[in-house]
Amino acid sequence: MVSRVIPVEQFDLIIFGGTGDLAKRKILPGLYRRFLSGQIPEGSRIIGAARSEHGVEEFRDIVRSAIAEHVAPDKHDDDAISGFLNSLEYVTIDALGTGGWKELAALMRPSVVRAFYFSVGPSLFGAIAERLKKYKVTDDESRIVVEKPFGHDLPTAKALNETLSRHFTEQQIYRIDHYLGKETVQNLMAVRFANMLFEPLWNARNIDHIQITVAETVGVGGRGEYYDKSGAIRDMVQNHLMQLLCLIAMEPPYAFDPDALRDEKLKVIRALEPVEPDDIVRGQYLGDDEGPSYLEDCGNPSSLTESYVALKVRVSNWRWKGAPFYLRTGKRMRARSSEIAIVFKDPPHSIFGDQAGQNPNVLVIRLQPNEGMNLTVTIKEPGPGGIRLIEVPLDMTFKEALGAEADDIPDAYERLIMDVIRGNQTLFMRGDEVEAAWAWTDPIIAQVEDRANRPKPYEPGSSGPEESLILMHRDGRRWREVKV
Ligand code: NAD
């Protein structure tokens, strides 16, 4: 049984920005799915809090439409939907003003878990944190959940940490990186630390290199202007790709415990070497029949912001010296595909000779689509005659391995919100971890900004600029194909 549902304690979840895009696409549909599964106990409430003037019925209508649009039709259950909508409340509140705060405080109940989800722009985090305290909306057990981006660089991330820590302890702050809520990402830890097979090989003596790819087919679209202030390094590498790298590279924590795990991740970030100028390739997608170019999308013909980046990253410690991590992420690429590939070394000597053909073992952890794992193993091609070697996959697609139960695997946001209610911070980033990640990323960004090199153009539907292939070729390696 994979999806055993363990109900959480009764809670009140207050969503600041409850009428915004993230709330409508992810948070509220996810909460509905948890309600449907029976994980949310009766009496729990979800309170939308946003600037827009709405009555509770209007908010329920908004959420009803969000469920219709963002929850799979086979999960539309009229009774569950009306039960869920009945658990909703709404408060019109101004994060920067005084309106709505007393009303929100009056809604709070003692001895019920209180969580406050900041699904608003980061410029409002400080104002909300301050007012939550000032109007006595929170208690010592209350939790706050903050969305990305957590800072724009090290100074802004530090300032944000300082602001939040003025009102809340570190144990109350849940910095979300939804990549950590993905089933396969957690499975990566299970594969490493619950099996004897891989961990003894998990080092530079046996692993040649690691590739982490997060490819998207969509462009920046309507978010162009906002994205142009950020770029792929800030938007993806500093947080999501960094988290994946940490989980692969870290030492086994002494327990699956929030601080034990985060201590190990932090050590990895601190062991990252600065990235050399030759080890980074940035790109911008061109336009085609299906969409405008990046420069058109962002409305700035002279933009130097990257929509694609590939990096060679070295982890400077005993385990990884000599086995680099190659990271790449981009928009408008050939396929929507996120994967981690652990490429093992060739055997030291081939008894079958060069003609037999020998390829390294590769362990691929697929984050999307088709979450699962795949290990390529070399075997003999069947049939008479001499030995010719072929690669075959040992494939575990969760959908196939787990059948219908895979459909009930909670999405990343659902799992993470339930963890907030349980008070489990294991899959959330700690303040020092975020700062360390910016401390490594800032010089990379400063370096590319100083050189003011125009990012290399790449064809939409490709796997990025040519130069990123060279990044691998000069080391005698090749990127895996970007495919579904
Ligand atoms: P949005 O603009 O769609 O929604 C913003 C919400 O905040 C609205 O409900 C609005 O009413 C409310 N709001 C704005 N100003 C307010 C004020 N002064 N007082 C009270 N409420 C106010 O934004 P979004 O896309 O939902 O993003 C919210 C946060 O989540 C941002 O920090 C964003 O970076 C982050 N995020 C969004 C996504 C996504 O897919 N949309 C993904 C990851 C992170």
Catalytic pick among 54, 76, 240, 349 = 240
Tell me: pLDDT of 212 over 50: yes
Q: What is the pLDDT of residue 260?
A: 97
Q: What is the pLDDT of residue 314?
A: 98
* CATH code of the region 11-147: 3.40.50.720
Task: Indicate the range of 91-105, 354-368, 434-448 predicted with least confidence.
Answer: 354-368
Q: What is the pLDDT of residue 404?
A: 66
Indicate if ligand 1 lies below 6 Å from the C-beta of 176. Answer: no
Indicate if ligand 1 lies below 6 Å from the C-beta of 22. Answer: yes
Indicate if ligand 1 lies below 6 Å from the C-beta of 236. Answer: no
- Using CA atoms, how far apart are residues 216 and 227, in angstroms rounded to an integer? 15
E strand segments, 124-270: 143-146, 173-175, 207-215
DSSP type of residue 27: I
Query: Tens digits of per-residue pLDDT, 233-292?
Result: 999 999 999 999 999 999 999 999 999 999 999 999 999 999 999 999 999 999 999 999
pTM of the predicted structure, to 2 decimals:
0.94
User: Which pair of structure tokens corresponds to residue 312?
Assistant: 């060679």
**Which atom of ligand 1 lies at the shortest distance from residue 149's CA?**
34
- Using CA atoms, how far apart are residues 455 and 233, in angstroms rounded to an integer? 13
What are the two backbone dihedrals, phi and then psi, of residue 300, each rounded to the nearest 5 degrees?
-140, 95
Tell me: pLDDT of 1 over 60: no
Nearest CA owner, ligand 1 atom 12: 17
CA-to-CA dists, residue 414 to 144, 178, 264, 420, angstroms: 16, 10, 25, 10
Tell me: pLDDT of 72 over 80: yes
* DSSP code per residue over 270-338: HTBPPPPGGGEEEEEE--BTTB--HHHHHT-TT----SEEEEEE-B-STTTTT--EEEEEESSBSS-EE
- Using CA atoms, how far apart are residues 38 and 232, in angstroms rounded to an integer? 38
Q: Is 473 a catalytic residue?
A: no
> Is 180-474 a domain of CATH 3.40.50.720?
no
Domain regions of the chain by residue span: 11-147, 180-474
Q: Which one-letter amino acid corresponds to residue 239? A: N
